[in-house]
Every structure is written in C-alpha cells, then in structure tokens.
Amino acid sequence: MKIRVLQPSARRCARLAWAAALACAGLAGGPAWAERITNPVAVFSGLDKISGKISTFDVPIDQTVKFGALSITPRVCYSRTASEDPLTTSFVQVDELNLSKQTQRIFSGWMFAASPGLNGIEHPVYDVWLNDCKGGKSTEPVPPPVATTIAPPPKHGKGRSKTTMPDQMPPDAGNDGDLFDQPIDPTAPQD
C-alpha cells in the first residue's frame, strides 16, 4: 500500500502564509498599556544611621526638601490606578552638601517603591527610598496601539510567486529567523 502525500502549490502556500500573518497581526494588537497617574507629591522615607531614626516626608514635584545633608528633588512621580498592578515610580535627583559647603549630585535616576533596595540612596550616613506618590487624580491617556501593515508578496512572471528550493538558495539565505520566508522542503514529513 502506497501513501501519497500531496504537496500544496507554492501559490497556495504563499496565500496561507500571508493569511496567517495577517490573522496574527490582527490578534496581537500590540502590548496592553496600564493607565498611568501623574502625582503632584512624592512620599519618601529616610533613615538617619547615626540616630537610627526613620522619617517619612512628602516632597512636592520640582521642589527640594532637605534631609540631613541631602537635598531631595523629585521631578515626576507616577502610579497606577487601583484596578492595575501597583507600580509607583519617581525620577529623583539627590544632592549632598559636603564639608566644604559645595553641593555634589550623588543620585539622578528612577526609584521604584516596590523595590526600595534597587535604586534607593545608600549614603554613609543616610538612606532614602520612595514609599508612594499621592494627590494624583487624572490619568494620562493610554498610548494608541501600534498599527502594523504587511505588504503582499511580490509577483514574478504571470501572476505567480517565484519559489526557491533549498539547494538553489545562497548559503546565508534563510537564516534570518522569519518563519514565513523559509523555503518549503518537499522531503519534509507532512502532518
């Protein structure tokens, strides 16, 4: 008993590949964006290692608050709505007043309330970390999804697609990892 495996035509394969690509592009739709709330106040905690005292202080955005020899200035403070996973971030700049009465920037970057050890200030005398943001009521608009367009396959000859067999391809062709540009192997087992 002989089993005959039918090979679909190259044109039909190209159509199926494009239909699958279009279906995947339509279903993917881009990443989901959580709504971001811009807050007017950042809430920090600070540890004075000499006295062992922990202080919590509110700092309005773009205003500077002194904590010991440190000057803390949050530039922006973002949080998410209650229906989303919590994520509170703030871009902060911290300057130190040294013994010669000069200020030196010791930190400029993002702080994350969920991971205070990730980007908190670890100074020999003071530690500072972000606790929360508060006062924000409006949400920023959600970025629109990115639209993707797929160009139709090029036509060669009288309305037919040109098919290239694996042994006719240049040595470096087919290594780009694109599933739909791979040649069809007629000796491959069919499902």
Query: Using CB atoms within 10 A of its CB, is residue 188 exposed (0-12), middle (13-18) or buried (19+)?
Result: exposed
- How many alpha carbons lie under 13 Å from residue 29 in its C-beta half-sphere? 5
Question: Encoding tokens for residue 104?
Answer: 């030196």
| 0.75 exceeded by pTM | no
Mean of per-residue pLDDT scores for the chain:
73
pLDDT score, position 15: 57
> What is the residue extent of each domain of the chain?
36-134
Percentage of the residues of the chain whose pLDDT score is greater than 70: 54
Which of 9-23, 29-43, 74-88, 113-127 comes out lowest in average pLDDT?
A: 9-23
pLDDT in tens, 147-168: 555 656 556 555 555 555 555 5
Q: Is the pLDDT of residue 60 over 70?
A: yes
Candidates 138, 122, 126; CA nearest to 79 is 138
Please write the tens of the pLDDT for every residue from 4-35. Answer: 554 555 555 555 555 555 444 444 444 456 67
Confidence of residue 123 (pLDDT cuts 50, 70, 90): confident
Handedness of CA 166, 169, 174, 180 (dihedral sign): negative
Average pLDDT over residues 97-123: 87
Burial 38-64 (b: 16+ CB within 10 A, else e): bbebbbbbbbeeeeeeeeeeebebeee
Structure tokens at 33: 């964006």
